[in-house]
Chain A
Amino acid sequence: ERSNLAGVRHILLVLSGKGGGGKSTISTELALSLRHSGKKVGILDVDLCGPSIPRMFRVQDNDVHQCDSGWVPVFVDQDKSISLMSIGFLLEKPDDAVVWRGPKKNALIKQFVADVAWGDLDFLIVDTPPGTSDEHISTVEALRPYKPLGAILVTTPQAVSVGDVRRELTFCKKTGLRVLGIVENMSGFVCPHCSECTNIFSKGGGEELAKHAGVPFLGCVPLDPQLSQSLEEGRDFIQEFPKSSAFPALAHITQQILDGTAQQSS
């Protein structure tokens, strides 16, 4: 019997030590960018307490259906080029809290990894909650037989965030998960009124960490109100705001991922 992940070419995890630093944003923008490069992408949202992905694609009211091979992922449009799975789709009411201890979370994650009928995908992006606990251990264990491409670590520039992402790097090392690189998110804000750049959350911490840890630095993504607005409305930022300040950085990150997979094949 063919596994549900047999048609998935590359699996990518997005991790962070800290909450609120933009993992789901990076996962979403990466998916949109890869789609614009002609790839078929799936996002598996294993943040069971705070599932952000459905809303970022404006499909938060969708339901999930079953088929013979398991759950059918939710397609974000007619194209069927981006599909999603999240606990967000399984909740009766959007404000329902998932108040589960580890074992129950682990059981659902195993199901999410094995029982979603993704079909053929170029990339499966796995968006995670912050930390190094049940969800992370279970996800990595369940994905191990499918040899994930690796993990992207998202940090904001300041030391307090970097401090936790260092621990996330150790998690990757201990679990044998390759680190594709570090993204420094929320790195600088350009005032739309006068163009003055302010480093609201400091600057450079992510780049320094990448150097110190010997992993690739994928780039700095600035704070961009147009990006925040796009995510709020579930819009395609990559298509609609190519002149926006965050666009070049996001496009560059995607290109490095694509270059990495091209190298892999050759």
Chain B
Amino acid sequence: QVALLDIDICGPSIPKMMGLEGEQVHQSGSGWSPVYVEENLCVMSVGFLLSSPDDAVIWRGPKKNGLIKQFLRDVDWGEIDYLIVDTPPGTSDEHLSIVQYLGATHIDGAVIITTPQEVSLQDVRKEINFCHKVKLPIIGVVENMSGFICPKCKNESQIFPPTTGGAEKMCQNLNVSLLGKVPLDPQIGKSCDKGRSFLSEAPESPATLSYRNIIQRIQEYCDQHHFHEEKII
């Protein structure tokens, strides 16, 4: 049972990627109902609260924090196995707030996404430091857009070159896990734009294999962690 909470308030992409554009949030006695993609997958995003795709959310920090609090407090999530929180880039209000508001409960950890080049890594090192600062465990790093195989000649190009060793070197240096590398696949963008599951549409893609391996490692981490928690109790 999975819930996806989109706290990118200025750029809410999740509704479109899940094929839920135009859906609305309903209120009931038990709070806001999330929008269901399938019986065991539901989503909440500010995108569902906007009436037009042109609407901009031009809010300063405090107002964004207020909405994030509401999302956590007023949404009737039900019983869920995994709550995944998608964040905007940065280390600011949204990030501080989500960690703070979830402080009373338990966060398994953070998955950090980067692309291979130093321009991206230099920001991700900051994100890793942010996690350390707020005592947020790091499950690991994913190197996205890692290489492209030409569909015609099958040669590989490093479009975003790992000039300083990519995520692999950074993870070694900072002692965090590299969960995996996902190659560029034009089908990913296409599926997301259509709101369809890439994993279902392109089951043979090397990117699908990468995603699945990464997801398995995340599940293993969470299972291990849960086991330790229970041991302590």
Contact = CB atoms under 8 A, between A and B. Distances in A.
A18 B11 contact: yes
Interface string B145-161: 00010111101011111
Q: Pick from A19, A167, A229 the residue with the most CB of B within 10 Å.
A: A167
B159 A233 contact: no
A194 B59 CA distance: 47
A98 B126 contact: yes
A225 B58 contact: no
Contact of B55 (A134, A170, A223, A232): A170
Contacts of A6: none
Contacts, number: 189
A67 interface: no
A20 B150 contact: no
- Contact-residue size bin, chain A (C-beta under 8 Å from the other chain): 35 or more
Contacts of A167: 10-11, 53-57
Interface in A164-205: 164, 166-171, 174-175, 189, 191-194, 196, 198-202
- Contact-residue size bin, chain B (C-beta under 8 Å from the other chain): 35 or more
Nearest to A163: B16
Contacts of A97: 91, 126-127, 129-130, 133
A243 to B, nearest CB: 18
Given A99-B96, A133-B64, A228-B160, A166 B153 contact: no
A19 B54 CA distance: 18
Contacts of B125: 94-95
Contacts of B16: 159-160, 163
Nearest to B57: A132
A169 to B, nearest CB: 7
Contacts of B59: 132-133
Contacts of A101: 61, 92-93, 96
Interface in A36-83: 48-50, 52, 55-56
Interface string B75-102: 0000000000000111111011000000
Given A94-B122, A96-B126, 5 more contacts: A99-B134, A132-B10, A167-B54, A201-B186, A229-B163
